[in-house]
Amino acid sequence: MNASIHNPVLPGFHPDPSILRVGADYYIATSTFEWWPGVRLHHSRDLRHWRPIGHALTRTSQLEMRGNPDSGGIWAPCLSWRDGVFHLIYTNVRSLLGMHKDTHNYLVTAPSIEGPWSDPVYLNSSGFDPSLFHDDDGRSWLLGMQWDHRPGHHPFCGILLQEYDHAQRRLAGPVHRIFLGSSLRVTEGPHLYKRDGWYFLVTAEGGTYYEHAVTVARSRHITGPYEPSPHHPLLTARGAAPAGLQRAGHASLVETDDGQWYLAHLCGRPLEWRHDAPAEPPAHYSLDALHCPLGRETALQKLAWDADGWPRLAHGDNAPRREVEGPGLPDAPWPPHAELDDFDAPTLSPHWATLRAPAGEWLSLDARPGHLRLVGRESLMSCFDQSLVARRQQAFDCEADTLLDFSPQDFQQMAGLAAYYNTRNHAYLHVTHDEALDARVLRLTVNDRGMASEPALPVVLPPQGPIGLRLRMNGPTMQFAWRAAEGEWRSIGPALPTAMLSDEHATEFRGDNVAQGFGFTGNFIALACQSLGGRPAVADFDHFRYREG
């Protein structure tokens, strides 16, 4: 009954959790960035066991992301419930390089967490990370950070509040700047809660890397002024190394039906600490020293309220823990997901995602029964029309394999298995044609911050027949392998560094400390097909197997 919660509760790429309880059911919505469908949803009845139940944004009328940059798209959704209706606020980030960011904020609603979700109501574009708070007087309020693009101004220039009119389906009334943030700066991700007559404002601060933190402030009036907590910050892993959880921040709160409180927050597990954190935290963190290829994950911490009515982590300090006291709810596990996807189902499972747009005529599960068929389109560097379907890597040690039937006509046609972080950072084992060898061949290409290389010579394949492809993640390294039919697996190329598939590696800075490339996601294992010359190319994948350990 009182079993502990083991963190992260949502391993792999699941950042910016917005947690909500409706009756006996708990839900978490997480950011999906450029991956489609938008806003991943999970469900639990005990806060320990979680299952994916799909996504909220499944139609292009709700979300248009073709051309969005890497790590653009859906940032920091907020899930809420009012009068029997689910509300979801989200940002579609269309550009993010340089001083300007194009951040459009929308609201969709649904009678059930599983939908159908409505077409969106446009709210504003003042900044990102908006949320919706429903007060006990029947009024609702939109919160969000404001972005200041002007040179010489801090870009995170405070939290704004404005009333939302449900009848008119629009924002109304004056805009209030209610919080400028603490000395940690980078104030974003606001959520508002009410307890004992106080309004509690929870924000993320410090940036989403190793200085990340959660700040709490409160006021007797919704428009402020807001007083920061004397225990500031509520949560941070900065300068601490509890069991390897780092980058802790961007939180939301939930109350159980018996008055217990929990905090859902994002975190990252550095590859270099995949077994245990160092006994003493390093004196200085360097983005070149720690890497999180699994991306930003979701964890839970238990809260307690002090005698003055301020929230604190129940274990006494402000560092996240891997093991947390559970709420004492009855165990409610879900059936385990099968390791093997044989593509016999009429639709893809919730584990699969595509890039920037839903699967169209380029993907089929019935053209060849028992196979996933991909019709080749643009390259892995494209932000528009990729024929790629992928699932999250959720453990440092895991393995994926597939059986590919593909007969390329020229070197511009390719299909295979990829470790895919984004357009500039990926490794791709693929079948193609080599005109000099006059043969079907297997090639391994690596894109590291946009620089392409081939660390192995082409392997000549039989002219016909399926080819097995495998990717093994072994903590700090990954190894590709192949086989013909049911033969022995053969490694191809050297062991490659998995650190190249991390947020830290993908985020690049110029000399003036302005980012020229962003990384906010996590590694995926992908099936893909390209036809760069425009001639038709069809690849059939017989299965996909993913297993951890």
Look at residue 498 and give its three-state secondary structure. helix
Classify strands 156-165 and 387-392 as parallel, antiparallel or unpaired. Answer: unpaired
Look at residue 504 and give its three-state secondary structure. helix
Contacts 24+ apart (CB under 8 A), 202-208: 202/234, 202/251, 202/252, 202/253, 203/159, 203/179, 204/129, 204/249, 204/250, 204/251, 205/181, 205/233, 205/249, 206/233, 206/236, 206/238, 206/249, 208/15, 208/247, 208/249, 208/250, 208/266, 208/296, 208/520
Beta bridge partners of 399: 472, 547
CB-based contact 301:324 (threshold 8 Å): yes
Whole-angstrom distance between the N-terminal and C-terminal Cα of the chain?
28
Q: What is the largest CA-CA distance in the chain?
A: 78
Question: Which of the residues 16, 34, 211, 405 is marked catalytic?
Answer: 16
The upper half-sphere exposure of residue 474, i.e. CA atoms within 13 Å in the direction of its Cβ, equals: 9
Question: Which of the residues 34, 46, 70, 188 is marked catalytic?
Answer: 188
Residue among 397, 433, 138 at smallest CA distance from 271: 397
- In 256-295, which positions are buried (b, 16+ CB within 10 angstroms) versus exposed (e)? eeeebbbbbbbbbbbbbbeeebeeebeeebeeeebbbbbb
Location of structure tokens 């700047």 = 177
Q: In this structure, what DSSP letter does residue 400 have? A: E
CB-based contact 519:508 (threshold 8 Å): no
CA 35 – CA 138 distance, rounded (Å): 35
Identify whether 281 is preceded by a cis peptide bond (ω within 30 of 0).
Answer: no
Beta bridge partners of 377: 530
CA 179 – CA 397 distance, rounded (Å): 43
CA 12 – CA 97 distance, rounded (Å): 26
Location of structure tokens 């509690």 = 200
CB-based contact 543:335 (threshold 8 Å): no
Enumerate residues 6+ apart whose C-beta is below 8 A from 512: none
Catalytic status, residue 16: yes
CB-based contact 362:528 (threshold 8 Å): no
- In 365-376, which positions are buried (b, 16+ CB within 10 angstroms) versus exposed (e)? beeeeebbbbbb
Residue among 234, 271, 239 at smallest CA distance from 252: 234
Q: Could you give the residue numbers annotated as active site?
A: 16, 188
